[in-house]
Amino acid sequence: MPLTTASLTHTAALSRLGHALSDSTRAGILLALRTAPANPSDLADTLGVSRQVMSNQLSCLRGCGLVEAIPDGRRTWYRLADGHLAPALDELLRVVLLVEPECCTGDGCTC
């Protein structure tokens, strides 16, 4: 069955989300932003990464269209770009996967 334009769009959107979730820092940012906007320095402190790493990861997430920047004077806040993302992330957290402990480590899957 040929892919329709709609299914190609869906595939691209899921690929962007998958790319975002493939990095633990980006996944942590998305999870942190589920409940409220946050500024980069607070996110960096919460996730235990440098401000430069946080800046790079937020840039990636902005490029994927998953977060947006909200200027506030000299500060910038970040929030999820779409209201559907928080409930979708909540649902993903409810999914239980059986993982072989030897297969997937913090360095990726080897199976």
Q: How far apart are CA 69 and CA 78, in angstroms?
A: 5
Q: Is residue 107 part of a domain?
A: no
CATH number at residue 48: 1.10.10.10
Range of the domain at 24: 11-92
Sequence-separated (6 or more) residues with CB below 8 Å from residue 73: none
Nearest to 90 by CA among 29, 31, 22: 31
How does 69-87 read in b/e, with b if 16+ C-beta sit within 10 Å? eeeeeeeebbbbbeeebbe
Q: Is residue 99 part of a domain?
A: no
The predicted pLDDT at position 108 comes to: 60
Structure tokens at 14: 């899921």
Domain count of the fold of the chain: 1
Q: Is residue 25 part of a domain?
A: yes
The predicted pLDDT at position 3 comes to: 64
Q: Is residue 101 part of a domain?
A: no
Query: What does the pLDDT profile of the chain (111 residues) look like in tens digits?
Result: 566 777 878 888 889 899 999 999 999 999 999 999 999 999 999 999 999 999 999 999 999 999 999 999 999 999 999 999 999 999 888 886 655 666 666 566 665
Q: Is residue 57 part of a domain?
A: yes
- Report yes or no on whether pTM surpasses 0.85: no
